[in-house]
């Protein structure tokens, strides 16, 4: 067969102003075999440049710090070798990126090669997205339209005595503002009004060399008119880490992605395809696992891989947590056994200096679970991949210390009503340890190539989560890659129920699909028939379905949702919250301390309530997605049944739009704030109304009515049901309290915004749809109802409120009184 080779494309739009040198067509680049021709006065001797004061480190390149200058000693036999340049933030100012960008955040990843051009060494950016067969006529066009941009260029200042390596000064690569490797994107530059990089306060902090990678840390200081924190004195300073990693000489065979099984992937374009277009496809990201004994593997025996996946614990990891971290890593061996491997993934304590004097978490040969002393409440599972093949080269799991706080609080909020162990801020080690174990397992799943599978939880009947036998055997969802952290469905009295997520059958299935070695397949296309057969064998079984959770239209694919019936699950969850609130003062109070913990837990509890409400809203105008290919029977998209949508609106009227007296515990409020409860509830309810009446949802309902007719839950029916719920006081001649007045104003404002879009000639999609007519009609109906009924209640503030709503409607629609 004809071998496909990568053709290289512009990765960063000419690298944002990096100088590009013209290359003569057909000219041969200089290699290690070409002896450098020294011209008098052009070069210095090695010792003139690399003086005895140099701080040198040998590795992939030898790095030299001479004073404040950084030199790279680049072996000529490494020229034109593929290397991965990974840019990460190593230190970040408070509040940067709204708090969503943390130390360890990856900012860019690109393949580079070093080339010799006369007396210069150039670093060029390479892309492997565009491909063509080398002997195809279109190959020349792909080459011409995907020219290598030069990211950095430096003059050779010396050669080693044996003439096998060139020395260049690399300082400018890290001290100049090169958009391709810095930590401030154009959006943040605009937000913080960054003027320029201050070179006097930007410098290289360290450079280290390892056998397969180079690590450079450098400080970048920007002048900024509006930095994220006021006390930053008009500057933003961050520490960047640049990793340059040698990619494998022997390439792993890629595996084609399939969106019916969730995998992180790399996009490719094949211009020599027989298709009448460029053939777009994706390959999955995975570690290279090859059985030691292929014949035994073929016989179905479990076989160890030639090179297992090894994770070391960070030396900073507290010793009491280490067993849980190691369990979370090695839990994946169960899944790898489904793929035919034993001992495929190994967790190790950090080696001592005596055991391995060269050990460093920065060394790409070591994957490390890093324990970060930070107030960030998160954990991450990033990995470094070879974009040519999708091979994962290295991975560092990041656990931020304060993530313990997140799980402590969530356990109390969602399990406190049912589980005595959750009724304290000092969560018992057995419970918090199990949570940490499963967080690490979740992040390792990402590092193995698996994305979130938010659809997994909908595979289990909701009431099964109240069964001890079921939950202890199957967990809370079929996949640990779902967001399903605590069993909030379980009720008081459900003894023996599992509360913490765990690995499930989908995880074993996905790992087998992605990692099983297929020795007979000589190309990715050769594997496809086998891979498809595994998917088809599970088709129709919700346990093995995948959904990313993006899009916001599929109620079966949502973050933090549990069970197949989101309305029932939210009812269970809400019932538990109502039992937790009266106990929060007792559970969070410590003698001699204030009420900070009470305030934090109470605030997060309100977010849980909002989450349950959002899970229900998604059913209204919702669409189920079941990923299929053309050879499978049935459709991909199906509207949520009418009865389920009506049930969702009934829940909203009863639990989201009613005044949450259960939440407004005066004993709590009087300890944490002097005011704010009304505004807080207003924001939560306003958000619920806005989400319910959002444009995409209403348009889906209109389309569903057009397609399914009487079987559909129509927009008119929904608006009628919601209006009667939100304006219950109007129709039952009751006084309206402050919370409900705010809610009713939110409803009128949300409906009026559609009509105002027409008046202001904004949002062409809205003005050309049925939505303006619908909302105008809704406001007219509401106006008639208020006009007829407003005087039936003697409460003066309620009367003022109805008159105010009439004025708002008239102002929005230009209707006459």
| Per-residue pLDDT reduced to its tens digit, 225-257 | 888 876 667 889 999 999 999 999 999 999 999
User: Would you say residue 544 has pLDDT above 70?
Assistant: yes
Q: What distance in Å separates the CA atoms of residue 393 and residue 367, rounded to the nearest whole number?
A: 9
- The answer on 781 and 677 residing in a single domain is yes
User: Would you say residue 542 has pLDDT above 70?
Assistant: yes
Q: How many CA atoms are closer than 13 Å to the CA of 205, on its beta-carbon side?
A: 15
Q: With respect to residue 579, please indicate whether it lies within any of the assigned structural domains.
A: no
**Phi, psi (degrees; rounded to nearest 5) at 305:** -75, 155
SS (H, E, C) 466-528: HCHHHHHHHCCCCCCCCCCCECCCCCCCCCCCCCECCCCHHHHHHHHHHHCCCCCCCCHHHHH
- The answer on 552 and 475 residing in a single domain is yes
Q: How far apart are the first and last CA of the chain?
A: 80
What is the model's pLDDT at position 62? 96
Q: With respect to residue 731, please indicate whether it lies within any of the assigned structural domains.
A: yes
Q: With respect to residue 809, please indicate whether it lies within any of the assigned structural domains.
A: yes
Q: How many CA atoms are closer than 13 Å to the CA of 342, on its beta-carbon side?
A: 7
Q: What distance in Å separates the CA atoms of residue 473 and residue 660, rounded to the nearest whole number?
A: 37
What percent of the chain lies above the pLDDT cut of 90?
Answer: 72
What is the model's pLDDT at position 634? 94
Instruction: Identify which has the larger pLDDT, 717 or 131.
Output: 717
Per residue in 267-294, pLDDT tens? 987 655 556 555 788 999 999 999 999 9
Please state which of the ranges 187-201, 251-265, 693-707 shows the lowest mean pLDDT: 187-201
Domain boundary among 183, 215, 246: 246
- The answer on 228 and 110 residing in a single domain is yes
What is the model's pLDDT at position 464? 98
Q: Taking a C-beta distance cutoff of 8 angstroms, is the pair 15, 180 a contact?
A: yes
Average pLDDT over residues 764-781: 85
Q: With respect to residue 601, please indicate whether it lies within any of the assigned structural domains.
A: no
Per residue in 203-213, pLDDT tens? 999 999 999 99
Domain boundary among 218, 246, 274: 246
User: Would you say residue 626 has pLDDT above 60?
Assistant: yes
Q: Which residue has the tokens 């210095």?
A: 44
What is the model's pLDDT at position 353? 86
Average per-residue pLDDT for the chain: 89
Q: What distance in Å separates the CA atoms of residue 490 and residue 487, rounded to the nearest whole number?
A: 6
- The answer on 153 and 58 residing in a single domain is yes
User: Would you say residue 620 has pLDDT above 60?
Assistant: yes
Q: With respect to residue 38, please indicate whether it lies within any of the assigned structural domains.
A: no
Which of the four pLDDT bands, split at 50, 70 and 90, describes residue 19? very low
User: Would you say residue 712 has pLDDT above 80?
Assistant: yes
Per residue in 479-512, pLDDT tens? 999 999 999 999 999 999 999 999 999 999 999 9
What is the model's pLDDT at position 92? 79
Decide the pairing of beta strands 213-224 and 203-210.
antiparallel
- The answer on 623 and 529 residing in a single domain is no
User: Would you say residue 23 has pLDDT above 50?
Assistant: no
Per residue in 42-56, pLDDT tens? 789 999 999 999 999
Per residue in 181-226, pLDDT tens? 888 888 888 888 888 899 999 999 999 999 999 999 999 999 998 8
- The answer on 628 and 557 residing in a single domain is no
- The answer on 477 and 334 residing in a single domain is yes
Q: With respect to residue 99, please indicate whether it lies within any of the assigned structural domains.
A: yes
Which of the four pLDDT bands, split at 50, 70 and 90, describes residue 764? low
- The answer on 530 and 452 residing in a single domain is yes
* Closest of 147, 145, 87, 151 to residue 114, by C-alpha: 151
Which of the four pLDDT bands, split at 50, 70 and 90, describes residue 30? very low
Average pLDDT over residues 318-325: 94
Query: Which helix (H) or strand (E) covers residue 371, if one does?
Result: strand 367-372
Exposure b/e, 501-521, CB count within 10 A at least 16 = b? bbbbbbbbbbbbbbbbbeeeb
- The answer on 488 and 373 residing in a single domain is yes
Residue 416 is classified by DSSP as T
- The answer on 648 and 557 residing in a single domain is no
Q: What distance in Å separates the CA atoms of residue 712 and residue 519, rounded to the nearest whole number?
A: 51
Please state which of the ranges 10-14, 120-124, 572-576 shows the lowest mean pLDDT: 10-14
What is the model's pLDDT at position 36? 54
User: Would you say residue 25 has pLDDT above 70?
Assistant: no
What is the model's pLDDT at position 15? 33
What is the model's pLDDT at position 399? 85
Range of the domain at 651: 612-813
* Closest of 153, 79, 90, 148 to residue 114, by C-alpha: 79
* Closest of 377, 366, 428, 433 to residue 400, by C-alpha: 377
- The answer on 397 and 469 residing in a single domain is yes
Q: Which residue has the tokens 């005044």?
A: 659
- Cα dihedral 443→445→450→454 (10° resolution): -70
What is the model's pLDDT at position 760? 61
Q: Taking a C-beta distance cutoff of 8 angstroms, is the pair 112, 151 a contact?
A: yes
Which of the four pLDDT bands, split at 50, 70 and 90, describes residue 125? very high
User: Would you say residue 379 has pLDDT above 90?
Assistant: no
Q: Which residue has the tokens 């079941």?
A: 626
Q: With respect to residue 61, please indicate whether it lies within any of the assigned structural domains.
A: yes
Instruction: Output Rg (C-alpha) for the chain, integer angstroms.
Output: 31
Q: Which residue has the tokens 């162990």?
A: 421
What is the model's pLDDT at position 26? 36
- The answer on 656 and 519 residing in a single domain is no
Decide the pairing of beta strands 379-380 and 623-625.
unpaired
Q: With respect to residue 642, please indicate whether it lies within any of the assigned structural domains.
A: yes
Which of the four pLDDT bands, split at 50, 70 and 90, describes residue 95? confident
Q: Please count the structural domains in the chain.
A: 3
Q: Which residue has the tokens 């939950």?
A: 471
Collapse the DSSP code of 412 into the 3-class scheme (helix H, G, I; strand E, B; otherwise coil) and give the result: helix
Domain boundary among 246, 278, 313: 246
């Amino acid at each position: 067969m004809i071998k496909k080779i990568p053709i290289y494309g512009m990765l960063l739009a000419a690298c944002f102003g990096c100088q590009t040198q013209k290359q003569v067509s057909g000219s041969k680049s200089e290699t290690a075999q070409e002896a450098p021709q020294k011209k008098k006065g052009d070069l210095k001797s090695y010792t003139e440049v690399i003086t005895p004061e140099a701080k040198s480190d040998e590795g992939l390149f030898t790095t030299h710090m001479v004073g404040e200058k950084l030199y790279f000693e680049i072996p000529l036999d490494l020229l034109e070798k593929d290397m991965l340049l990974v840019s990460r933030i190593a230190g970040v100012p408070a509040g940067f990126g709204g708090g969503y960008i943390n130390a360890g955040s990856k900012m860019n990843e690109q393949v580079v090669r070093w080339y010799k051009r006369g007396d210069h060494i150039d670093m060029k950016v390479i892309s492997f997205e565009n491909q063509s067969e080398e002997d195809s006529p279109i190959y020349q066009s792909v080459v011409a339209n995907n020219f290598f941009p030069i990211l950095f260029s430096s003059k050779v200042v010396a050669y080693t005595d044996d003439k096998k390596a060139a020395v260049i000064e690399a300082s400018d690569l890290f001290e100049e503002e090169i958009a391709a490797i810095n930590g401030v994107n154009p959006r943040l530059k605009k937000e913080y009004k960054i003027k320029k990089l201050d070179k006097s306060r930007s410098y290289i902090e360290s450079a280290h060399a390892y056998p397969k990678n180079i690590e450079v840390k450098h400080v970048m200081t920007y002048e900024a008119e509006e930095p994220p924190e006021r006390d930053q004195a008009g500057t933003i300073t961050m520490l960047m880490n640049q990793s340059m990693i040698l990619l494998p000489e022997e390439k792993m065979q890629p595996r084609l992605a399939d969106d019916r099984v969730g995998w992180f992937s790399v996009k490719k374009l094949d211009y020599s395809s027989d298709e009448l277009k460029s053939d777009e496809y994706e390959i999955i990201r995975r570690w290279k696992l090859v059985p030691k004994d292929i014949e035994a593997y073929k016989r179905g025996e479990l076989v160890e891989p030639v090179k297992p996946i090894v994770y070391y614990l960070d030396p900073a990891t507290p010793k009491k947590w280490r067993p849980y971290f190691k369990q979370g890593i090695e839990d994946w061996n169960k899944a790898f056994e489904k793929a035919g491997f034993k001992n495929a993934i190994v967790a190790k304590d950090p080696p001592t200096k005596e055991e391995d004097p060269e050990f460093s978490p920065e060394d790409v040969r070591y994957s490390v679970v890093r324990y970060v002393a930070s107030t960030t409440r998160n954990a991450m599972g990033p990995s470094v991949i070879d974009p040519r093949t999708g091979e994962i080269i290295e991975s560092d799991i990041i656990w931020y210390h304060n993530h313990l706080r997140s799980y402590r609080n969530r356990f109390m909020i969602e399990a406190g009503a049912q589980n005595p162990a959750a009724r304290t801020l000092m969560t018992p080690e057995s419970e918090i340890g199990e949570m940490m174990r499963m967080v690490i397992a979740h992040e390792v799943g990402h590092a193995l190539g698996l994305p979130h599978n938010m659809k997994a939880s909908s595979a289990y009947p909701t009431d099964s989560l109240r069964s001890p036998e079921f939950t202890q055997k199957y967990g809370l969802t079929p996949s640990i890659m779902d967001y399903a952290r605590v069993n909030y469905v379980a009720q008081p009295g459900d003894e023996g129920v599992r509360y913490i997520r765990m690995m499930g059958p989908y995880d074993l299935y996905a790992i087998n699909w992605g990692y099983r070695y297929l020795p007979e397949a000589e190309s990715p296309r050769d594997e496809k028939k086998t891979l498809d057969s595994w998917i088809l064998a599970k088709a129709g079984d919700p346990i093995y379905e995948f959904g990313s959770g993006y899009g916001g239209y599929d109620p079966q694919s949502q973050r933090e949702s549990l069970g197949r019936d989101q309305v029932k699950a939210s009812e269970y969850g809400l019932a538990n919250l109502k039992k937790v609130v009266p106990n929060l003062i007792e559970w969070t109070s410590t003698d001699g301390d204030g009420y900070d913990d009470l305030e934090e837990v109470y605030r997060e509890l309100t977010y849980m309530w909002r989450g349950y409400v959002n899970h229900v809203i998604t059913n209204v105008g919702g669409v189920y997605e079941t990923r299929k290919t053309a050879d499978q029977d049935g459709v991909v998209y199906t509207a949520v049944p009418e009865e389920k949508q009506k049930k969702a609106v009934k829940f909203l009227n009863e639990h989201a739009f009613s005044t949450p007296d259960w939440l407004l515990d005066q004993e709590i409020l009087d300890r944490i704030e002097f005011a704010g409860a009304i505004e807080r509830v207003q924001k939560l309810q306003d958000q619920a109304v806005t989400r319910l009446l959002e444009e995409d949802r209403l348009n889906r309902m209109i389309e569903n009515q057009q397609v399914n007719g009487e079987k559909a839950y129509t927009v008119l029916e929904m608006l009628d049901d919601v209006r009667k719920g939100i304006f219950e006081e109007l129709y039952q001649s009751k006084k309206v309290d402050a919370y409900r007045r705010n809610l009713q104003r939110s409803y009128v404002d949300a409906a009026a915004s559609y009509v105002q879009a027409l008046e202001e000639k904004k949002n062409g999609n809205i003005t050309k749809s049925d939505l303006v007519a619908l909302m105008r009609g809704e406001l007219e109906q509401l106006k008639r109802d208020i006009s007829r009924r407003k005087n039936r209640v003697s409460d003066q503030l309620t009367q003022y409120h109805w008159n105010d709503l009439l004025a708002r409607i008239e102002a929005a629609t230009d209707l006459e009184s």
